[in-house]
Amino acid sequence: MGVIALDPDYASKVAPADTLDKFHGNQLVYIHWEEHLMFCAALAFPFPPGMPFGAILAEILPTFYGIHPDFEKIDWGKVRWTVDGKDITPDPEKSLADHGVGHKSLIRFWTPGLTGVNGLATV
Amino acid sequence: MAKKLGLKQRYGLLTRGLDWETSYQPMDKVFPEATFEGIKIKDWDKWQDPFRLTMDAYWKFQSEKERKLYAVLDSFAQNNGQLSISDVRYLNAVKLFITGVSPLEYQAHRGFAHAGRQLPGVGPRIAAQMQSLDELRHAQTQIHTISHYNKFFDGMHEFPHMHDRVWYLSVPKSFFDDARTAGPFEFMIAIGFAFEYVLTNLLFVPFMSGAAYNGDMATVTFGFSAQSDESRHMTLGIEVIKFLLEQHPDNLPIVQKWVDKWFWRGYKVLGLVAMMMDYMLPKKVMSWKEAWEIYFEQAGGALFEDLARYGLKPPKYHEQATADAEHLSHQNWSIFYNYTQAAAFHTWLPEDDEMAWLSEKYPNTFDKYYRPRFEQWRQMEKDGNRFYNNALPQLCQTCQIPMAYTEPGDPTTICFRESEYKGDKYHFCSDGCKDIFDNEPEKFSQSWLPVHQIFQGNCGGADLGDVLKWYNMNVGADNMDQNVSPEQALWDKWQAERSRVAAE
């Protein structure tokens, strides 16, 4: 349906605020560790599309999720990953773009057997 | 013939006798915003004035109230009223109010001035203009009331600047920006009806009774001085919706869509009140869940039963909001506990007696989902490792709150919703927020989302310190945990001096 606006040409003048060109070569990426809701929401980052997925594994996740007692127990071989709802198997050498991670993509991961402190996903 | 006209006659002349049809300009040029929203008005004279107040009576009445209020404020200041509050933690509710709510009074002032100018009917025009003056007065008297606390405590000193910039204050700010950039009829339904009528008791009453329970006599007195205005605003809100629905059957689907939208928008903003009630008041009034039952389920239920005769249905997703009442305050307090390093008020973990109160008020959810989280955080704090979330959160494109809400019926999984517009993805915390975006993607794709703006480089720099500086935050005093705050230390010192004096 058309927008309701005083200006009949309003729709053609709309400039979305968060298009890729505004992020200085980065793209917005959201990461969420499922069943560990001590972290209140998914985390937001500006990452270059060419960044290897391994940088998320080696640097980003330990820096921002490392404080959780479950973190050091993660068996990375068993982790289930999705990008925008599609299952992926990460290759640390390949880029985010190679994994289908685009601007404003959401990466979710599940750590089997680790579902929060004392098995409570809200912790 | 009487020499002086009665109040009723004067009001009649003010609202009916002074208006005229323009002849140099067509009326649709005089009121350019009257038709584009699709609302059809057949007869503005059918408007039933909900209150009949002339300007002179208005000034007289308001100035009397003002005199009383400022007399109380003076004595509050002279008697060091800040010492009589229940606990220093209470002030964080005041900070939330002055940074998050008082600027909305000012926005309402501007919004009603605009709507008043644009409505072709002279009755609603005058009512909107009076409400505009009320709102300006509320902003001003709130600022004066709270300025006394600003002499002693942190987090209040830059409230208008922070309202425009700080991440969580974009939630109430964008709510009003959205209303004020709508047409005059949508504004009247958004603010006049949905906010001032349906939801006001969940905003104003909790803050004012919270003040009463916690010894903040200054804010209580402000509340009393605003009360008669608020009841006028409510009668205006209800008259507006009835008038629109009575004027033309084509108005119903438009009004229904606005009611659905503004209920959900307002409900999301009120999440700040929910956490204030359950977590920030040292002496609690009632739980958010109880307030929701009384003021929305019962009072709102009766209202929508009454409006059913026009074909209007209760707002979409109201059942969801009722189910969420079990979780809302806990999830919101967790957001602010995660990000207290970037907030202009303090957070803390509930004490044992507060946890017991929460268990009692939320028997279905608190012990099961949230107490273990707070206990874990308490342990971490004890180990010298107070939990802070050091990455920025993903925000909802519509309500702008961090995406912290869980799936309906599953409190262990975050609710993710997504839409696409002009080739880009947009993320939402709920079906309600997604629907609002999908109806107006042109508008909401332009949202100023604080996290994205930081990454674009528009907020002072890339480091947290740069951003806090850009917020004009007094780092180390305005932010961080209550327990390490200078004002907690000041309060403890005052209390120690009092006990020393009492002992002598």
The residue ranges of every structural domain in chain B are 8-14+23-503
Q: Considering only CB atoms, which chain A residues are within 8 Å of B418? A: 84, 106
Instruction: Give whole-number Cα distances, A115 to A110, B121, B326, B327, B344, in Å.
Output: 8, 60, 22, 20, 33
Cβ contact (<8 Å) for B372 and A19? no
**pLDDT confidence band for B344 (50 / 70 / 90):** very high
User: Shortest CB distance from B445 goes to which of A14, A22, A102?
Assistant: A14
* Beta bridge mates, A88: A81
Q: What is the pLDDT of residue B49?
A: 81
Mean pLDDT is lowest, of B118-127, B320-329, B445-454, for B118-127
Whether the per-residue pLDDT at B161 is higher than 70: the answer is: yes
B259 in Cβ contact with B312 (< 8 Å): yes
Is residue A46 within 8 angstroms of chain B, CB to CB?
yes
Highest mean pLDDT out of B3-12, B64-73, B224-233:
B64-73
pLDDT tens-digit readout, A60-111: 999 999 999 999 999 999 999 999 999 999 999 999 999 999 999 999 999 9
Q: What is the pLDDT of residue A2?
A: 64
User: Taking CA atoms, what residue in B is nearest to A8?
Assistant: B36
A33 in Cβ contact with A109 (< 8 Å): yes
10 Å Cβ neighbour count for A86? Answer: 9
Q: Span B469-496, mean pLDDT?
A: 97
Residue B450: which H helix or E strand, with range? helix B450-456
Residue B424: which H helix or E strand, with range? strand B424-428
Amino acid at B502: A
Whether the per-residue pLDDT at B85 is higher than 70: the answer is: yes
Class at the top of the CATH hierarchy for domain B8-14+23-503: mainly alpha
Mean pLDDT is lowest, of A26-30, B14-18, B54-58, B422-426, for B14-18
**pLDDT confidence band for B1 (50 / 70 / 90):** low
A26 in Cβ contact with A48 (< 8 Å): yes
- What is the DSSP secondary-structure string of chain A? -----SSTTHHHH---TT-GGGSTT-EEEEEEETT-TTS-S-EEEEE-TTSBHHHIIIIIHHHHHTTSTTGGG--GGG-EEEETTEEE---TTSBTGGGT--TTEEEEEE-TT--SGGG-TT-
Q: Span B441-450, mean pLDDT?
A: 97
Q: What is the pLDDT of residue B211?
A: 95
Cβ contact (<8 Å) for A26 and B37? no
**pLDDT confidence band for B164 (50 / 70 / 90):** very high
**pLDDT confidence band for B51 (50 / 70 / 90):** confident
User: Taking CA atoms, what residue in A is nearest to B443?
Assistant: A14
Look-up: residue for tokens 């709270």? B146
Give the mean pLDDT of chain B. 95
Look-up: residue for tokens 């002693």? B152
Name the token pair of B41.
Answer: 């008005």
CA distance B302 to chain A (A): 32
Cβ contact (<8 Å) for A43 and B391? yes
Amino acid at B194: A
pLDDT tens-digit readout, B177-236: 999 999 999 999 999 999 989 888 898 888 999 999 999 999 999 998 898 898 889 999
Inter-chain CB pairs, A–B, below 8 Å: 144
Question: What angle do helix axes B217-247 and B299-307 make, rounded to 10 degrees?
Answer: 20
Name the token pair of B267.
Answer: 């409900």
**pLDDT confidence band for B396 (50 / 70 / 90):** very high
End-to-end CA distance of chain B: 75
Is residue A48 within 8 angstroms of chain B, CB to CB?
no
* Side-chain-side CA neighbours of residue B11 (13 Å): 16
Q: What is the pLDDT of residue B9?
A: 83
Q: What is the pLDDT of residue B6?
A: 84
**pLDDT confidence band for B2 (50 / 70 / 90):** low
Q: What is the pLDDT of residue B71?
A: 95
Report the 3 state secondary structure along B98-160: HHHHHHHHHHHHHHHHHHHHHCCCHHHHHHHHHHHHHHHHHHHHHHHHHHHHHCCCCCCCCHH
What phi and psi values does residue B19 have, to the nearest 5 degrees? Answer: -90, 155
Is residue A118 within 8 angstroms of chain B, CB to CB?
yes
Q: What is the pLDDT of residue B55?
A: 84
Burial B217-235 (b: 16+ CB within 10 A, else e): bbbbbbbebbeebbebbbb
* Beta bridge mates, A28: A46
A61 in Cβ contact with B391 (< 8 Å): no
Whether the per-residue pLDDT at B303 is higher than 90: the answer is: yes
Euclidean distance between CA atoms B235 and B31, whole angstroms: 24
Q: What is the pLDDT of residue A121?
A: 97
Euclidean distance between CA atoms A56 and A51, whole angstroms: 9
**pLDDT confidence band for B432 (50 / 70 / 90):** very high
CA distance A114 to chain B (A): 13
10 Å Cβ neighbour count for B260? Answer: 21
The whole-angstrom distance between residue A47's C-alpha and the CA centroid of its chain comes to 10
User: Shortest CB distance from A38 goes to which of B387, B406, B455?
Assistant: B387
pLDDT tens-digit readout, B88-137: 999 999 999 999 999 999 999 999 999 999 999 988 998 999 999 999 99
Q: What is the pLDDT of residue B50?
A: 75
pLDDT tens-digit readout, B242-280: 999 999 999 999 999 999 999 999 999 999 999 999 999
What domains are there in chain A, each with its CATH number?
25-119 (3.10.20.560)
Percent of chain B at pLDDT > 70 equals: 99
**What DSSP designation does B383 have?**
T
- What is the DSSP secondary-structure string of B37-77? T----S-GGG---SS---HHHHHHHHHHHHHHHHHHHHHHH
Q: Span B486-498, mean pLDDT?
A: 96
- What is the DSSP secondary-structure string of B272-319? HHHHIIIII-SS----HHHHIIIIIIIHHHHHHHHHGGGTPPPPTTHH
Q: Considering only CB atoms, which chain A residues are within 8 Å of B457? A: 24
CA distance A97 to chain B (A): 16
Look-up: residue for tokens 């009072």? B299
Euclidean distance between CA atoms B190 and B178, whole angstroms: 9
Sequence-distant (6+) residues with CB within 8 A of B35 are B28
Is residue A100 within 8 angstroms of chain B, CB to CB?
no
Instruction: Give whole-number Cα distances, B475 to B77, B420, B457, in Å.
Output: 27, 39, 20
**pLDDT confidence band for B443 (50 / 70 / 90):** very high
Give the mean pLDDT of chain A. 96
Q: What is the pLDDT of residue B7?
A: 81
